[in-house]
């Protein structure tokens, strides 16, 4: 891939990442998701406010933001990794919203899918199981990220690929520090709160 095409691909990935799926879907139902529940513009907060149907819609759209640019550049894995990172950064730090975005779990899942589909699908099942038991989407996310990193490390030969995912995982965990604080103080809202119809 030429340097110009690579740069365009990475910029395109970041721009895709900034698309505010949660805000758009919640707004279509008359809800400002940034001032509802945890205030996070993500799938679990939308599910909490509007129900799982809308939460799943947001998850799929946010995952697509990571999967599309990675899949489009997968023939050049280093560029694909850069595109994946750019999409996640766009989601977490969108320039269109003064760099205040989501936590990166769904977009990260989308990035993981083209590289490691089995790990991603296994992680999705694990996330759902943990969430069902704990009633907290944040606990599921915080627990599943390191498990994914271990799985990637075991199944990947290239050290730079492992380090790339570790960097992404650390960023996502850092974005969950506010959730960790609320969990410690017992103020983290469950994902099963009552919602609008």
Secondary structure of 98-111 in HEC code, one letter for each residue: CCCCCCCHHHHHHH
pLDDT digit string, tens, across residues 61-80: 999 999 999 999 999 999 99
Among positive and negative, which fits the CA dihedral 166, 178, 10, 107? positive
pLDDT category, 193, cuts 50, 70, 90?
Answer: low
| Helix 137-155 vs helix 117-134: crossing angle, to nearest 10 | 150
172, 145 Cβ separation under 8 angstroms: yes
10 Å Cβ neighbour count for 4? 8
H/E segment holding residue 43: helix 43-50
CA distances from 28 to 23, 24, 63, 100, 116 (A): 8, 6, 20, 20, 34
Token digits for 140? 């599921």
What lies within 8 Å, CB to CB, of 154 at 6+ separation is: none
SS3 11: helix
The lowest-confidence range among 21-30, 139-148, 187-196 is 187-196
pLDDT digit string, tens, across residues 119-144: 999 999 999 999 999 988 889 999 99
């Amino acid at each position: 891939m030429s340097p110009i095409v690579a740069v365009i691909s990475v910029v395109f990935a970041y721009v895709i990442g900034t698309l505010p799926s949660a805000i758009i879907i919640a707004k279509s139902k008359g809800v400002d998701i940034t001032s509802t529940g945890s205030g996070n513009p993500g799938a679990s907060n939308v599910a909490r406010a509007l129900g799982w149907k809308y939460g799943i819609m947001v998850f799929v759209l946010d995952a697509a933001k990571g999967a599309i640019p990675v899949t489009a550049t997968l023939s050049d894995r280093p560029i694909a990794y850069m595109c994946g990172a750019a999409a996640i950064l766009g989601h977490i730090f969108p320039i269109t919203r003064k760099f205040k975005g989501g936590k990166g779990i769904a977009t990260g899942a989308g990035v993981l899918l083209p590289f490691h589909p089995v790990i991603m699908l296994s992680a999705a099942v694990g996330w759902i199981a943990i969430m069902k038991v704990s009633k907290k989407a944040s606990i599921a996310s915080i627990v599943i990220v390191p498990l994914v990193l271990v799985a990637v490390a075991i199944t990947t030969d290239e050290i730079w690929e492992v380090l790339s995912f570790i960097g992404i995982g650390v960023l996502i965990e850092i974005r969950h520090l506010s959730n960790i604080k609320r969990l410690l103080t017992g103020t983290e809202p469950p994902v099963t709160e009552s919602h609008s119809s």
